[in-house]
Each structure stands twice: as C-alpha cells, then as structure tokens.
Amino acid sequence: MQLWNTLNKEELEAKWRESGYKFVTISFYTYAHIANPRLFRDHLFQQWSNIDVVGRTYVAKEGINAQIAVPLHHLDQFREELYQIEFLNGVRLNIAVDDSEAEFPFLKLKIKVRDKILADGLNDETFDVTNKGIHLNAEEFNQLTDDPNTILIDFRNHYESEVGHFKGAILPDVDTFRESLPFIEDEYLKGNEEKNVVMYCTGGIRCEKASAWFRHRGFKNVHQLEGGIIKYANDCKQKGIKNKFIGKNFVFDERRGERISEDIIAVCHQCGSPADTHANCANDACHLLFIQCDACKAKFENCCSTDCQSVIHLSAEEQKALRKGKEVSNKIFKKGRSEKLQFQVNKEKPLSLVESNKEHLA
C-alpha cells in the first residue's frame, strides 16, 4: 500500500466535497517508549487511510502527538482500533470545541517521524518526562487560580495568547516552546518556589513536558490544566462550570481558531480595529500569519501589505521568478512579527512587557 498522499490541494478539496463527509476534529498525545517509530508510523498510516482520516501527526521514540480529523461515520471504528494499541488504550481524545470555521480542518494525512514529538531543546538524559505535575480538572483549575498564592502561566506562543487566554494569566512573549522553558524559569519561577504554579496550553502536550521539566528542576507545587483549553472549554459547557477563558483558542489546523467566549481581545494588525481572525498572506512568497479584519481582507485581497498585494497580480511565472533562490521560511514563521504590520503587538520583545507580566507575581 502507498504510504503517502499524491493528490494536490485542488484534487483533495474536490474529493472531500464530493464525499459529503462530516469531519470531527480530534487531538491527542501521549508520552511513551516507542521502539520503532518508523514501523509504527507506517502502521498508523495504513490503518487511518482505510477510514479517510486526515490531519497531522508526529511520532517519535518518546511518544505520539496528533491533530487529525475523522469522518463522523468512522469515529467508533477509529476509537476502537486506536484503543487496541496498548499504550494508547484509553488515551484522552480532545474533541474540537467549534468545527464551524473551516470547511475542511485538514485536507490530507501526514504522519512524520521526528526525534521528539515536541521540540524542547533539552539534552538531559536524567530527565523523566513521565514525572509530570498534578493534573487539574476545570473545577480544580478555577479554584486554584483563585488562590492569591498561585502563578498562572500561559505556555503557548505569543500569537496564540494574543487572541485568547485565561484571565489573570502571565503571557510570556515567546515564539517557541523550547524558548519558553528557560525564559519562564528565569523570569517568573525563580524566587517563587513556594507558590503554586499552574500552567495551561491548547491540548496539554506542552504543559505535560513543561511540568515534568520544572519538577525535575526542583519546583514542587507544579500543576497543569488537564486536556488544556480544549477539554476545559468542553467541560465548562457540558457541566455548567464558570468559564474563565476569554477570546479565541488558537488551533493548528485550517480553522486557526475556535471561539471560547464572545470577547474579541485582539486587533487587526493592519488597521487596529477589533479582530481575532488569523490569516496567512495570499502571496506564496510571504505566507505570513497575522490577524486581519474583514474590511482589510477585502482591501488587501488577503495579503499582509500592498507589496504582497501587487505580487499576487503577477503571472504565475513572474511570481515563481521572484521566489527563486530566496529562503522565506524564517519570514513565514514570524507569526505576526513583521515590520509591515502597523498594529501588531509584538514587533520586538520589550522589557516593559516582561515587567508588566511580572506584576502578576507581586
């Protein structure tokens, strides 16, 4: 059986539109010892291709991290087959809070083997990632974060917390998870060893590793929100629990966000009006991720600037010639840190932002 996708974007869109499938967006992860990640990857690809699962999954010797979409009519079969894998039996499946913002959350199935399922920059062989912090359900999270002796830290990147976060949380201005570990320890945890540390992220995978790392570093009162924002929002809705999250939860699929509360706490990076919808610049040589309101979307034709807008009107050959020999990946992953965007929050990492966050510790 072929173990990779061969269809282009247009062909995939036509395929799923014709199928009429209703997809359920699911994320899950677990840290485990996988002896042969390549063999396991191929097994998953065959199994999931048979039931038209799409999405992005990483497999490594330390475990699995999946963000996928499953056809609703195959959901029971998917769950049954997944739970037949010993170390995934009973693994928590985080169901998306809101699937309405994209026709197809993913178009194809990609399963990649990596050194780690979450890049962390750590090279400590004595570190045990399974020695994690205390898990908190939604009610426990609300109670502990009401305690003045608690530090609440958002363990996501700056472009995620910009559109939504928990009230009273410290929002570190970081670009990557590997950057966040030393930054948060140095700026917020040192000197606060006796306080309760509560951390949260999208689905839990970053906090799972971070809580274990900080325990390894000697911090004792370390807690994490079980299942992350996704599970918290679902539990609040189903159980009538007070929801302390404001705005949107950024997600890594075509939706780019799911609404948790009606609050819009961000602004359009082009005009400064209230907005919290992320877009990728339509210029393929840019593809910058930024926040754009509907008015600017129409005005700039889905582009981040007039420069990029002029490029998309060139012929395909002219655009290709402009891209030739240029490395744009660093620009693509600036995630809103572009000088072209007048109203972005984080062009740089000013000391004032660090000091403002530190006020939460007083």
**187 touches 99 (CB < 8 A):** no
Whether residue 201 lies in the annotated active site: yes
Half-sphere exposure in the Cβ direction for 259 (13 Å, CA): 11
Amino acid at 34: I
Task: List phi, psi (to 5°) of 315.
Answer: -70, 160
Contacts 24+ apart (CB under 8 A), 298-302: 300/270
DSSP 170: B
Per-residue H/E/C for 121-132: CCCCCCCCCCCC
The SS3 call for residue 31 is strand
User: Residue 91: exposed, middle, or buried by beta-carbon count in 10 A (0-12, 13-18, 19+)?
Assistant: middle
**130 touches 209 (CB < 8 A):** no
- Catalytic one of 201, 236, 281, 296: 201
User: How far apart are alpha carbons 312 and 273 in whole angstroms?
Assistant: 25
Per-residue H/E/C for 303-333: CCCHHHHHHCCCCHHHHHHHHCCCCCHHHHC
CA distances from 269 to 83, 88, 125, 293 (A): 44, 41, 42, 8
**336 touches 288 (CB < 8 A):** yes
Of the candidates 164, 155, 172, the residue with the CA atom closest to the CA atom of residue 356: 172
**204 touches 106 (CB < 8 A):** no
Task: List phi, psi (to 5°) of 347.
Answer: -70, -40
- Strand arrangement, sheet containing 245-249: 164-166, 245-249, 258-259
Active site residues: 201
